[in-house]
Structures are given as structure tokens and as C-alpha cells.
Amino acid sequence: MSTPDLNLLITLDALLAEGSVARAAQRLRLSPSAMSRALARLRETTGDPLLVRAGRGLVPTPRALELRERVSQLVQDGQAVLRPVAKLDLKQLVRTFTLRTSEGFVENFGPALIARTGKEAQGVRLRFVQKSHKDSAPLRDGSVDLETGVVEKTTAQELRAQALFHDRLVGVVRRGHPLSRGKVTPARYAAGRHISVSRLGLDKGPMDDALQRLGFTREIVTIVDGFAMAVALARASDLVATVPERHTGILRTGMYSFPLPVSTPQFTVSLLWHPRLDADLAHRWLRGIVQNICAAVR
């Protein structure tokens, strides 16, 4: 059985609403002859004359009267599906968004995000999950709506990205630590006992490369896979943590932070999402909030 031409629904709706080939043709900006041919196709498709002559006009058949309301609703529904959403009603929005972030992001930006989204859309709930790996599969399969991170060569090329803020590495120690007094030189920094932060368990990074060029090597005492753990260990010991400045602002409260004595490159933390959500108004609204909050919170 062949698939019917759904464009005929629009023609049928005009014919049944106008009850006239000429007026239906004018409504759809067609010639009367083109509309007559369309009526002939409709009669063939439905197996019913639909409109029959009565004097100088046309009257609908019982089948046409039966179809009139259904066809009108179908056309309206189809037009609504294909028409861009004109406005997002935040008061009626009920949705849970999942954000995958690194440690420190929730502590720094989470409270403001929750407060802002709750104020604008009470039916919206934010779900934060840890970013334990850089695989883009959760964004692809829809289990994650938004993700924060550094765009790298391994990042899936189809993902959309928007820069949130620039960050840099800083050193952090407990109050009263020897490095909290006086100038922190490469030699003094390297002489400390250090925490390495690496999801892969690595004990070397950009900082070690920069120190090595100056002839220094730091002692890595322990390796952790998150910034929060590194800061917590440094707070309770004489260990030195090297962490992103903006990403760990709240985590470092009450501690002594200092610029690193060697040059390390800045990096950009971005917001990432899958392109299928690019035009989604609710998703676009949330992206805007995340960007605004990250720009405001220092």
C-alpha cells in the first residue's frame, strides 16, 4: 500500500473550511485548476466525492462532515510541530538537567546556579555528577545535558563549546606553613612535599616540566584524583597542593594561596553540550545562566 501524500491534508482542510474550490485556491495561493486537480486526487485517495454540486455551489458529503474537525486539528498540530517555539514558559517548565563537572565547580558555582534556576523556574532541578573521565559518550547518549572542562584534541569534534572563564594554577598551603611567609622562589617551592592531582595517577605534569627547565625537581608524596582531596590534605598537613585558582576558590577558604614561581600556561574552562540540544529553549536558558554565574563568581 502506497503512503498517502500528507500535503493533501492542508488542501482538504482548506476545501472543507471554505466549501469552494475558488476560495480554497485563493487561501492556499493556488490556481483554481490546480485546486480542482487536488480535489480529484483527494476523491481518489479517500474514495469519497467529499464536495458535490448543489445548485451553483458545493456541499460536503457525510464523510466530509465527519472529517472536517479531525483534519483541521491535524493541520493545526502539524503546523505547531514544525513551527519554532516562540517563547519558553519558565513557570511551566518541569525538567531535570544533569551537569557533569570536575571537583570544585559545584562548591564554587553550584549554590548560585541552584538559587538562580530555582528563582526563575521552580520546576527545574539540577543534578550534578562527577567527571571521572573525558569520554564524550554521556553527552552523546543524553545521560548528561551539560559538561564543563577544557577543550582538548581528544574532545569530540561534533560537540558545541562556549568559554566560561580562564584559569591558572596556584599553590596552596595551610595557614602557618613555611611557604606562607616570605617570597616563594622556585627553590623553596620545589623543596616542599607535594600532592599530585591526576585522574590517571600520574606523578608528573606541566609544573614538573617547568621546574626541570630551571634545574629543580619536586618530591611527590601522594597522588589524588581530585582537587578537593588535594586541598583537604594540604589543609590538614604540611603538604603543598597545586590547583586551578578559580575552580577551587571556595575550597581554599582560610588557606594561604600563592602564585607559582614558574611560568605555566593559562587554560580555558568551557561549557560543552551535544548539538541536538543547541536549539532547545530550556537548554539554551540554562546555558545562559551557567555562563552568567561563572562570569560573576570570582
CA separation for the pair 100, 135 (Å, rounded): 11
CA separation for the pair 71, 244 (Å, rounded): 60
Do 149 and 285 lie in a common domain? yes
Give residue 79's pLDDT. Answer: 79
Which domain, by its residues, includes 283? 95-153+275-296
Do 22 and 73 lie in a common domain? yes
Write down the residue that cell numbers 605534569 correspond to: 205
Give residue 145's pLDDT. Answer: 95
C-alpha cell of 212? 626541570
Do 288 and 144 lie in a common domain? yes
Do 14 and 77 lie in a common domain? yes
CA separation for the pair 113, 103 (Å, rounded): 16
Do 63 and 113 lie in a common domain? no
Do 146 and 206 lie in a common domain? no
DSSP structure string for 146-187: EEEE---TTS-TTSEEEEEEEE-EEEEE-TT-GGGSS---HH
Do 177 and 122 lie in a common domain? no
In a domain, 158, yes or no: no
Do 260 and 117 lie in a common domain? no
Give residue 132's pLDDT. Answer: 72
Domain count of the chain? 3
Instruction: Examine the fold and report which residue of 82, 117, 134 is the final residue of a domain before the chain moves on.
Output: 82
Instruction: Examine the fold and report which residue of 32, 48, 82 is the final residue of a domain before the chain moves on.
Output: 82
CATH of the domain at 197: 3.40.190.10
In a domain, 160, yes or no: no
Give 148-157's long-range contacts (Cβ < 8 A, gap of 24+). Answer: 148/99, 148/100, 148/101, 148/102, 148/105, 148/269, 148/270, 148/271, 148/272, 149/102, 149/269, 149/270, 149/272, 150/267, 150/268, 150/269, 150/270, 151/268, 151/270, 151/272, 155/272
Tens-of-pLDDT digits for all 298 residues of the chain? 567 788 888 998 888 888 888 998 998 899 989 989 988 998 988 899 988 988 888 888 999 888 888 888 888 888 777 777 668 899 999 999 999 998 788 888 999 999 999 999 999 999 999 887 777 888 888 899 999 988 887 788 889 999 999 999 999 999 999 999 999 999 999 999 999 998 877 778 888 888 999 999 999 999 998 899 999 999 999 999 999 999 899 999 999 999 999 988 889 999 999 998 988 999 999 999 999 999 887 6
Do 30 and 54 lie in a common domain? yes
Do 211 and 234 lie in a common domain? yes
Do 141 and 209 lie in a common domain? no
In a domain, 90, yes or no: no
Do 76 and 31 lie in a common domain? yes
CA separation for the pair 55, 28 (Å, rounded): 25
CATH of the domain at 25: 1.10.10.10
Write down the residue that cell numbers 517563547 correspond to: 87
In a domain, 159, yes or no: no
CA separation for the pair 167, 180 (Å, rounded): 22
